[in-house]
Each structure stands twice: as C-alpha cells, then as structure tokens.
Amino acid sequence: MSYSPRVVANALLRRAKERGVKLTHMKLQKLVFFMHAWSLALNDKLLLKEKPAAWPYGPVFDTLYHDLKSFGSNPIDSLLTELNPVTGNVAAMVPSPTDGSFWKLLDSVWDRYSVFSAMQLSALTHEAGGPWDKARRGQTGDIPDDWIKSHYKAKLNAQSSA
C-alpha cells in the first residue's frame, strides 16, 4: 500500500516520541526519504504517493515542506493531519498495525538512520552518482523512483557480495 508522506512522517514521529527522540523538519524529511528508498529496493513497493524533489540539502517531499516549514529547525511537536478517505474527517493518521511490512521497514530504517543528525542524513543522500546527485546535475525537479530503486538495490547487492 502506498501512503502520503504525512502518514509515514506521523509513524516516524510516533516512534521518535516512544524513544524520547526529537525530530526536526530536515531530519524527518530524510527519514521519510529513506523509508521510500528502502521500500523500493527491498520490497519492490512504492511506499509514497509523492515523489521527492531534489532540493539543495537533499530529497524533500513538498507536502511535508509546507506542513513543517513553520517549525524551522525546532523539534516537531505535533502529528500532521489530512483528510481520512474512509471517515471524511481530518485526522492524524498512521499506517494500520496490520501492515507488518511497513512497520518492519520502519524499524529497520529507524535502527539504521535515527542516530544520525539532520546534516549527516543530508550528506548520506548526496552520494556522487546517487539519485539526488543525478537529479541535481540533470536539473530535474523530482527524483524518479526508478533511479532511487536502482541505486538502493545496488547498495543491497554490494552488501551481499561483500
């Protein structure tokens, strides 16, 4: 199932609260990107309904940018809301607890990347030849999912053969 960036961000914000970690806008953007990237590489599944844009400090999801820009570099202290298509109400939503593949992916991404600062995560997205780098050099707005998928699948293959 694919989700809006807000729903994935809310799941990460909840995990951060459970662990006593504060997330800034920039760090949350990068964690959402890594969720998307690893879903494509590991599961061949499109996690997000929105493509990331290649901004100067790394991949950015426009909807999250507009929702979170008021926080500046301060920690985010609330969940994001959107229209629930089932109820018709505006609510802070997260993926269902029954979406086991989502929560497994979240745990993996959290364990691997939550220890890094926002700037370190940004640097990780700036690999030479990586999807963000190619998009910036080609001056494309969005980072194509196939570039993300092939780059992170190559990382998996390199780890497997090492």
Q: What is the pLDDT of residues 5-19, one digit of tens each?
A: 999 999 999 999 999
| pLDDT tens string 110-122 | 999 999 999 999 9
Q: What is the pTM of this model?
A: 0.94
Q: Does the structure show a pLDDT above 80 at 65? A: yes
Q: Is residue 127 part of a domain?
A: yes
**Residue 12 is part of which domain span?**
5-147
| Angle made by CA atoms 120, 79, 141, in degrees to the nearest 5 | 50
Q: Is residue 82 part of a domain?
A: yes
Q: Is residue 162 part of a domain?
A: no
Cβ–Cβ < 8 Å for 50, 94: no
DSSP secondary structure letter of residue 72: T
Number of domains in the chain: 1
Distances from the Cα of 132 to the Cα of 6, 25, 41, 70, 123, angstroms? 21, 18, 16, 25, 11
Q: Is residue 121 part of a domain?
A: yes
| pLDDT tens string 124-154 | 999 999 999 999 988 778 999 999 999 999 9
